[in-house]
């Protein structure tokens, strides 16, 4: 597998996605003159450099390892699910001028854990949805949907990093299909670090409970009912903040 940062751009160009997206971006609607639809459920605002994704809430309690996943993958540990492919969202972010780098990862060596943070542009993640019975709209950072397990404290960052997932080698594909790893794993916006996320937290949170115990859960009193349609809004972010109150350097592996 290879980093998707440069190869994905070439793939988009070869497939004509970038050209099609640029042409589509000139199409406007009377209701929302700044937004252009790139594909069903996916829009871009070139003036504000924002991307909007149609999603549904899929979890109202329990531990979290994802913010956004694809159907049939990690709905049991994700706040939201979307039917928009991760690779299409990646292309929309490129169109908005947001640059990818590489996903975060972690590894054990000689009884110690090495944390390798992601690289790429910072992206702020917000949610928009209509309250039940038409009682108004909500527009807020997705961090408000996440609580610390022990104290109920608020998630400390609204900023993710555009790592850009990975590209599979041709020999790793099972027949024809996308080479973009997150299209298969479903890791669109991650909390813990699987190493295949399109968007990941600034700091690495190992996905093994033996290394770092689960620490983040759904803020049950705050999320909308399961199945609520939600728009996820991705915007250029500022300086990333630490994503965990725990030590963000090398830690010893537990045995």
Q: Over the stretch 63-95, which tens digit does the pLDDT of each residue have?
A: 999 999 999 999 999 999 999 999 999 999 999
- Starting from the edge strand earliest in sequence, which strands make up the sheet with 251-252, in order? 105-109, 112-116, 251-252
pLDDT, tens digit, 9 for 90 and up, residues 93-108 = 999 999 999 999 888 8
Q: Higher confidence at residue 238 or residue 252?
A: 238
pLDDT of 74 reads 94
More confident residue, 55 or 240: 55
The per-residue pLDDT for range 110-167, each reduced to its tens digit, is 778 888 899 999 999 999 999 887 778 999 999 999 999 989 998 999 999 999 999 8
Location of structure tokens 């022990």: 150
Buried b (16+ CB within 10 A) or exposed e, 119-147: bbbbbbbbbebeeeeeeeeeeebbbbbbb
pLDDT at 27 (0 to 100): 37
What pLDDT is attached to residue 241? 47
Maximum Cα–Cα distance for the chain, whole Å? 61
pLDDT tens digit sequence for 162-181: 999 998 887 777 766 789 99
Structure tokens at 162: 């555009």
pLDDT in tens, 12-59: 433 444 443 433 333 333 346 699 999 999 999 999 999 999 999 999
pLDDT at residue 162, as a whole number: 97
Residues 93 and 72: their CA atoms lie apart, in Å, by: 24
Please give the Cα distance from 148 to 11 (Å, whole number). Answer: 40
Q: To 10 degrees, what angle do helices 86-95 and 4-15 make?
A: 90
């Amino acid at each position: 597998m290879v980093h998707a940062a440069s190869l994905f751009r070439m793939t988009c160009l070869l497939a004509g996605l970038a050209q099609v997206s640029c042409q589509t971006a000139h199409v406007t609607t009377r209701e929302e003159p700044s937004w252009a639809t790139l594909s069903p459920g996916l829009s871009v605002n070139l003036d504000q450099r924002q991307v909007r994704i149609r999603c549904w809430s899929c979890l109202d309690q329990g531990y979290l390892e994802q913010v956004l996943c694809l159907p049939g993958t990690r709905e049991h540990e994700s706040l939201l699910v979307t039917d928009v492919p991760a690779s299409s969202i990646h292309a929309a972010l490129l169109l908005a001028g947001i640059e990818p780098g590489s996903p975060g990862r972690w590894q054990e060596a000689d009884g110690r854990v090495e944390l390798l943070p992601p690289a790429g542009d910072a992206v702020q993640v917000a949610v928009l949805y209509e309250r039940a019975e038409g009682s108004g709209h909500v527009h807020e950072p997705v961090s408000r949907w996440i609580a610390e397990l022990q104290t109920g404290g608020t998630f400390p960052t609204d900023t993710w990093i555009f790592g850009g997932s990975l590209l599979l080698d041709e020999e790793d594909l099972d027949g024809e299909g996308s080479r973009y790893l997150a299209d298969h794993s479903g890791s669109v916006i991650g909390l813990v670090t699987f190493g295949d996320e399109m968007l990941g937290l600034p700091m690495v949170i190992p996905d093994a409970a033996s290394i770092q115990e689960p620490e983040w859960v759904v803020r049950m009193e705050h999320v909308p009912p399961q199945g609520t349609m939600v728009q996820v809004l991705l915007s250029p972010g500022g300086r990333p903040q630490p994503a965990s109150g725990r030590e963000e350097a090398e830690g010893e592996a537990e045995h």
